[in-house]
Chains A and B, each alone.
Chain A
Amino acid sequence: MQRRTLMKAALTAVTLTALGTSAAVAENPVLKIGFVGVTSGPAAAWGISNQRSMETRAAWINETGGVTIGDTTYDIEIVSFDDQKDPKRAIAGMEKMAQEGIHYVVGPNVDDGAAAVRPVAEANGIMYFPYAFPKSLYEPPASNAVLGMVANYQSGPAIYKYLMDEKGVKSVAFIAANESDPLSQRDGGVAAAEALGLDVVSANVTYQVDTTDFTPVLTPVMRTRPDLLVLSGVSPANAPQLIRSARELGFEGIISTETAQDAGVLAEGAGDLANGFISVGGASTPELASPMMNEFVQRYTDMFGEYNDESNTKVYALEYILETLKADPAAISDVDAFKTTMDSFEAPNPYMNGDAKLRYVGMSSFGQKRQVAVPLVVNVYKDGAFETLFVAEVD
């Protein structure tokens, strides 16, 4: 059953892309937007949800006649490069984007890749939107990277503060995979928690990326009996296992993370044990999702057979690129114009109910506007779906 739907979806996708490209040649000029990220191997889930979000949106735009920038209407083509989570490949990918004449790229997904592509991006006039948190990527003198989501050092404090005020959380324990991104996020989280006056009872425990059984890893953490357990930079594959092990070990406090998760994966991997799990998401909870967001989810599902909630945060980068280009058509081949426009750019956020705006932020974190203003939506998992806990803004 499952397989057949997947196959059908894949076939549809192939036909759609084929039709799309052939139609594009006939009608509109094509605007290429790049994606460099990991779409194979262990971390494939990160890049694939990214790539599919972009492809879904591009197909949707093309189906409805393209996007008008200045006087020209373009069809969007997504050019994807699989970097296999290898920084060396990521550089090759960025070179490929430069070769294709692309000036706007989404990705890479991890710290080392994002740092490695910087020289190429700056030399070739490419703006790129990584999903990596190191501040050095976004602070001057770096100027071509735009953080594509909310960083953990921004969402972490908001979540901890909320839990302190609302749930009386006093002590916190951190656990992270022994790998660059999660460890950096853990260090950021620990600093934030200490600044808020939380008692950090355990922050040293790490696990290997390939761990499949977390009971031995979590046993010593559970001894410290924290009120809150933070899974720093946890990958969607590990989150359900960690939650399950912690609960089975008798943990009764709150579990949270600062990365985006998928409700379906949590439901399958941890079931009811995941109830109450707090994570950061985009705007797809029923309270917040605009009709456009719902249509996006529907189109994604039709195209690929199954939605991934991680895409809630990944739907934005492409939208930002296109909207900024609309605001300043000269930027289509000139990233300096893009950078100037970023300072004053503002447009309504089509994916969220209410009067949320698309704009660039990051002054307080980076000293320049190098981050997309994604609403900081903190979700809580309940019986197979996410509910909104609270919404905050990043400045």
Chain B
Amino acid sequence: MGFSSKQMMGLGVFLFAIFVGVPLLIGATGRWDFYFTLTSVALLAIASAGVWLTFYIGRINIGQGAFALIGAYVSAILVVKAGWSFWLSLPAAGLFAALVAVLIGLPILRLRGVYFAMITLVLTQVVTLTALALPITNGAKGISNIPLPSGLSLFGIPLIPDFGSMENTKLAFYLTACILMVVTYAALYRLVNSRLGHLCRSMQQNEELASSIGVNIAYIRIVIFAISSFFGGLGGAMFGSIAQSVYPSSFQVADSVNFMLNCFLGGLGYVFGPMLGTLVLYFGWDLLFEFGKYQMLIYSTLLILIIRFLPNGLLSIRFSKGDKS
């Protein structure tokens, strides 16, 4: 694929910033608590990327919390009950979430607009209630005391160190989350600029028309929804491992709604929109911590002002000066 040198530069700066700049900055300022916040942002951004992808085929997805919760539980159960390595359970969690997405997606992807939004919202509640009712998820008691990710080595060469023996896991989790995020967004970027991406755009415009020119829309919808849920499962599994516990309330309706809001805030038209949206929404709350009881009031006021004056998302600033396309 042809990248302009400007794009390559931007990418380089971005990678340098998150992998070198942030740790240096945190080391210099001593704000160690930002590691967890930024780790959260990276993981939530992964899940939000999935939601953004479903927006890309014209579906409002308020169900990502369900898949994040599924991912968190699958990983926790595999690690705690089956004794798997966390690093194996991570893709397994994503794949399981994707499998569930295929099964559920078959009937519900026919729905559109607010109906799809609503059914995914209900899905979040269904998964929470299922987690409360099933024995394998430990019901209301949740799964706690999950061990930290163990080391992973291939043919005796250590690939990933043992988190349990680390002095400080914050940096390790931060780097893992950032690598995952970079891979996710690279995949997303690749997908959007592939043939599949073009087909998705045509579906977003008009499904009937796309279908009439021979696009297998049912197949594409399922594939996209599965990928989207895979991201959700990944993010959720990683979170479970940081918190070392999973409860039915670890991801709930509020999370599903937040994932969607991240996409809106960043801008639906931009691949990196959800990443920026997550950063602003999640980090913003933390930064307003000083305001105490007025934190929520100020936070929501800022949110309203942003959407009032930038209804197409934060990234739309960049383009509002130049051409209107």
Contact = CB atoms under 8 A, between A and B. Distances in A.
A99 B289 CA distance: 13
A92 B239 contact: no
Nearest to B239: A88
A83 to B, nearest CB: 11
B37 interface: yes
A85 B247 CA distance: 12
Contact of A39 (B33, B148, B243, B293): B293
A374 to B, nearest CB: 24
* Chain A contact residues: helix, strand, loop or mixed: helix
B33 A112 contact: no
19 contacts: A40-B296, A81-B289, A87-B247, A91-B36, A92-B37, A92-B286, A95-B32, A99-B32, A112-B142, A115-B142, A116-B244, A118-B245, A119-B148, A119-B243, A179-B132, A179-B140, A180-B249, A184-B140, A184-B141
Contacts of A89: 285
A87 B250 contact: yes
A81 to B, nearest CB: 7
Nearest to A99: B33
B36 A183 contact: no
A80 interface: yes
A180 B142 contact: yes
B249 to A, nearest CB: 5
B320 interface: no
A50 to B, nearest CB: 13
A88 B142 contact: no
Interface string B286-325: 1001001101100000000000000000000000000000
B47 to A, nearest CB: 12
B211 interface: no
Interface residues of B, number: 36
B254 A112 contact: no
B144 interface: yes
Contacts of A96: 33, 286, 289
A123 interface: yes
A65 to B, nearest CB: 25
Interface in B18-69: 31-33, 35-37, 40
A91 B245 CA distance: 11
Contacts of A110: 249
A116 B286 contact: no
B248 interface: yes
A82 B245 CA distance: 20
Given A116-B245, A180-B132, A183-B132, 14 more contacts: A91-B36, A92-B40, A95-B36, A95-B37, A98-B33, A99-B33, A112-B249, A115-B144, A115-B247, A116-B247, A119-B244, A123-B168, A180-B249, A183-B140
